[in-house]
Amino acid sequence: MISTTTVEKADRLQASLAAAPQRLLIDGRWVEAASGKTFSTFNPATGEVLAQVARGGPADVDLAVSAARRAYESPAWRQMNAMDRTKLLLRLADLIERDAEELAVLECLNNGKPAKLTRLVEVEGSIKTFRYFAGWPTKFGGETLPVSPRGGVRILNYTTREPVGVAALIIPWNYPLSMAAWKVAPALAAGCTVVLKPAEQTPLTALRLGELALEAGFPEGVFNVVTGFGDAGAALVEHPGVDKVAFTGSTEVGKAIVRAAAGNLKKVSLELGGKSPQIVFPDAHLGDAAAAIAQGIFFNQGQTCTAGSRVYAHRDCYDRLIAAVSDHAAKLKIGNGLDPDSDFGPLISQEQWDRVSGYVEVGSKQGAKLIAGGRRPPHLDRGYFFEPTIFADADASMRIVREEIFGPVLSVLRWTDEDDLIRQANDSDYGLSAGIWTNNLRNAHRAAAALQAGTVWVNCFNLVDPATPFGGFKQSGWGREHGRQAMEMYSETKSVWVNLT
Ligand code: NAP
Ligand code: MG
């Protein structure tokens, strides 16, 4: 049963979205795109148009970057003391909390994932991220260093941290509000000004976040939002007025960004794809492992950069593990995310549906054994729904094992020898995350040390927290979000030498 209040909220939101096109936020004002163009954004659960949104392009990016530059140099922001920045970030977190239900429903409508997950992951996660980074302005400073000059000269040497400047934040559609928070919160905490470019599929919560930032009292131009397509992102990355680009998305676009940022050598941080292994030792608690493995791949319909898409199960537990994971998959309730019982929503778009279904075909053709899913759920005839899918008997040469599918497709492989297992798990261009399932401390630490991944989870999976660094080895990215490392990414270090003699 769909809850009436959620449906009423969704109806109200849809009516207000239909009433007028969504505009860009530039310099504290809501404006149309310079071209006057708009584009449609959709509800993936129905395929229906949800809103018209301003299609920002290079001219709008230029205005937004100039506004961000002016704001960056204005005393109102540049000289704002650390505690006042903390207060603004806390106020923004409070406003997200005030509007939590509306944001959760809006995200459900625009992204498709179940509202019970948008409440938890997008909204609560964003509140937590803003509150965490709100603590940093008063704690993020330099140090005094014991330098050793020659000739009896006495020196005071200290470092300061300064904001890097104007930051372009380019985010994907899979966790729209969270990804915005992950970037906006540390950037503002460090004292940058920002231009946020949400993905074309999911622009709506980024715009609401911009509105709340205005209400919180951030000075005009500190937080700008330019909606549009990849050309708006590309214009940001090329713009000489941008000092830093933080990007989450595909490895392919990440590489294009690195090339385009070379013009003025922008600082670049990248959070890209993954093909995360989950390795199961024969001594693992299989019930726990199976539940987390199902969750690790089917959460968010597999559209997660850390999705545990390759499972390496020891031959002694291989069959039992597959049976248990399949049981979990079969129990997932697939449906419209407004239904409080839904665990599993649609994919983001027809394009993504075609991509996932193409991989299922390739997997079968290359000899993997399809044991669950692989198709549209028969009871849902519209929207971009795709069943949780499991392949057994996969091997290292298969494309479903090597490439990021970004959908609910799990490949299960069998292992016998630990050295070979680790070699296979590391045999990937990606290195974002990995999971280990074992009750033996030595197995856990040996594997954690050997796996090439930015995050290793032992007897758990997909836990994230703003206090701990998140990012990838190899082609999964550059830099780390969260924690002190995020503050470092949005700042420069200055070393000051003072002659005291
Ligand atoms: P994408 O093309 O990498 O898009 C991510 C963001 O970059 C969007 O805001 C996009 O704008 C923007 N963008 C596109 N081209 C750009 C350019 N040349 N310069 C600067 N910004 C640019 O990702 P996608 O097309 O949405 O998804 C494709 C695949 O990427 C997925 O199937 C998945 O494998 C991977 N992906 C990974 C993550 C992750 O969390 N690591 C997230 C999403 C997707 P537009 O949306 O307007 O094009
Ligand atoms: Mg794209």
| Residue type, position 136, single letter | W
Residue nearest to atom 48 of ligand 1 (CA): 230
Ligand 2 center to 233 CA (angstroms): 10
d(CA 31, CA 57): 13
- Among residues 108, 305, 317, 387, the one annotated as catalytic is 305
User: Ligand 1 centroid vs 253 CA: distance in angstroms?
Assistant: 6
Q: What is the pLDDT of residues 337-347, one digit of tens each?
A: 999 999 999 99
Q: Minimum-distance ligand to the CA of 199?
A: 1
Q: Is 472 in the pocket of ligand 1 (CB under 6 A)?
A: no
The pLDDT assigned to 2 comes to 57
The H or E element that residue 68 is part of is helix 58-73
Beta bridge partners of 412: 311
CA of 171 to the centre of ligand 2 (A): 10
267 CB less than 6 Å from ligand 1?
Answer: no
Residue of 200, 220, 238, 271 marked active site: 271
Nearest ligand atom owner, CA of 200: 1
Give the Cα-Cα-Cα angle 482, 485, 486 (nearest 5 degrees).
Answer: 50
Radius of gyration of the chain measured on its C-alpha atoms: 24
Residue 470 CB–ligand 1 contact under 6 Å? no
Give the tokens for residue 16.
């207000």
256 lines ligand 1 (CB under 6 A): yes
For residue 229, the ligand 1 atom closest to its alpha carbon is 47
Instruction: Report the C-alpha gap between 187 and 169 in whole angstroms.
Output: 9
Ligand 1 atom at minimum distance from 271 CA? 41
Instruction: Say which ligand is closest to the CA of 232.
Output: 1
Residue type, 28: G
Q: What is the reported pLDDT for 3?
A: 64
Output the CA 236–ligand 2 centroid distance in Å: 15
Angstrom distance (rounded) from CA 364 to CA 423? 25
- 488: number of CA atoms within 13 Å, CB side? 11
Distance between CA atoms of residues 370 and 257, nearest Å: 37
8 is catalytic: no
Taking the model in full, what pTM does it have? 0.98
pLDDT digits (tens, 9 = 90+) for 140-166: 999 999 999 999 999 999 999 999 999
User: 258: Cβ below 6 Å to ligand 1?
Assistant: no
Mean pLDDT by 10-residue block, N- to C-terminus, for the chain (501 residues)? Answer: 79 96 98 98 98 98 99 98 98 98 98 97 98 98 96 96 98 98 99 99 98 98 98 98 98 97 97 97 98 98 98 98 98 97 98 98 98 98 98 98 98 98 98 98 98 98 98 98 98 98 94
CA 133 to each of CA 87, 93, 166, 404: distance values in angstroms, whole numbers, following the listed order: 11, 10, 18, 31
CB 251 within 8 A of CB 477: no
- What is the 71 CA–ligand 1 centroid distance (Å)? 28
Residue to probe by mutation, ligand 1, list 253, 300, 476, most atoms within 8 Å of CB = 253
Q: Which residue CA neighbors atom 25 of ligand 1 most closely?
A: 250
DSSP code for 122? I
pLDDT at 453: 98
Asked if 48 and 30 count as a contact pair (C-beta separation under 8 A), the reply is no
Cα distance between residue 488 and residue 163, in whole Å: 9
pLDDT tens digits along 252-302 = 999 999 999 999 999 999 999 999 999 999 999 999 999 999 999 999 999
CA 231–ligand 2 middle distance (angstroms): 10
Protein residue closest via CA to atom 40 of ligand 1: 305
Based on the residue annotation, tell me whether 460 is a catalytic residue of this protein: no
CA–centroid distance, 175 to ligand 2, in Å, is 15
Six-digit token pair at 316? 């002694």
pLDDT in tens, 440-481: 999 999 999 999 999 999 999 999 999 999 999 999 999 999
Return the pLDDT at 27.
98
Question: Among the atoms of ligand 1, which is closest to the Cα of residue 351?
Answer: 32
